[in-house]
Structure 1
């Protein structure tokens, strides 16, 4: 009976891991938040499946089996609690990483404005592109920032409008 419960837990965790690994390419913030949510959901599903299996075993087994099932329920509860804590830790870590990325993007745009690289009168395209490529920003964000810088280079009169677009992208 405990093997069945263990198989159910492993299957649910396997499905959760599979779903996590086969997600489409969302933004870095969405990736981290989605992973934490899916891990929590998978853990909750595993705990529910284990609890249901243990309750069914308890009702069918009688007095002797009830002690064993009670032990399984206790173990399942403990495992679910540990898994829930792991999901909480993962969500906290994801939030910290999202905050770090947003901070880096904010610092990058603020540096450009303070150093006068991105103004209506001055635009240092090459230096800004180098800084973006050497940053810790995700490849997706880097590509979008460079595309906006290309648009400013092609039409300098749009610098003020594109600056707001850069701020929105880098501080999300």
Structure 2
């Protein structure tokens, strides 16, 4: 029964951690990396705390049972830590890929002459944003900036910098 309790606590802690991570609104790429790192740390800490508390309670019953439970809890905590680490690494890779995609998109507009101080091809740029794999919130923000340029061409220099900041992460 003690082992079952440990497993249930560990699964519950991991489930709570993953639920918390999945229930968050879609943050910016930088916030995603930071939140994933924080969540991973909290999940590992909560799992280790739960395993430690359970191991202490069982240790009072018998030394042999405590030894077995401690080993299982440590293994489960290590597995949870590895899973959280893998999740953080994947999130970091995803964010880097999205950031690179935004920068590549911006560079292509400039190289093609579609987005310069002298030339602004609204339709081509908006189409490329909509066809891209950028996150929907980034697409919406980029199109808003492009709409601002179209409405007030004299602001193009400032708005190009806003696009650089948004898509290039600079």
TM-score using structure 1 length = 0.91
2:44 is the alignment partner of 1:47: no
User: How many residues align structurally?
Assistant: 168
In 2, distance between residues paired with 1:11 and 1:79?
A: 12
Structure 1 window deviating more from structure 2 (11-20 vs 100-109): it is: 11-20
Secondary structure of 2:120 counterpart: coil
How well do the aligned residues superpose, as a CA RMSD in angstroms? 1.4
Gaps in structure 1 of 5+ consecutive residues:
none
Paired with 1:115 and 1:125, the residues of 2 have a C-alpha distance of 13
Q: 1:167 aligns with which of 159, 164, 168?
A: 164
Q: Deviations over 1:24-49 (max 9, x none)?
A: 33213323442343133123201211
1:120 equivalenced with 2:121 (yes/no): no
Distance in 1, matches of 2:19 and 2:79, equals: 21
1:140 aligned residue: 137
* Among candidates 96, 100, 104, match of residue 99 of structure 1: 96
Q: Distance in 2 between matches of 1:27 and 1:75?
A: 37
The secondary structure found in structure 1 opposite 2:133 is: coil
In the TM superposition, residue 74 of structure 1 has moved relative to its aligned partner by 0.5
What is the TM-score normalised by the length of structure 2? Answer: 0.92
Distance in 2, Cα, partners of 1:85 & 1:33: 17
CA distance, structure 2, for counterparts of residue 22 and residue 78 of structure 1: 27
CA contact (8 A) 1:120 1:156 kept: no
Q: Which runs of 4+ in 1 moved over 3 A?
A: none
Q: Residues of 2 paired with 1:27 and 1:107: CA distance?
A: 18
Deviation at 1:78, TM superposition (A): 0.9
**What is the aligned partner in structure 2 of residue 20 from structure 1?**
21
Contact 1:33–1:94 (CA<8 Å) still a contact in 2? no
- Please report how far the alpha carbon of residue 88 of structure 1 lies from its aligned counterpart in structure 2 after TM superposition: 1.2
In structure 2, the gaps of 5 or more residues are none
State how far apart, in whole Å, the 1-side matches of 2:113 and 2:155 are. Answer: 16
8 A Cα contact 1:13 1:46, kept in partner: yes
132-141 vs 88-97, greater mean Cα deviation = 88-97
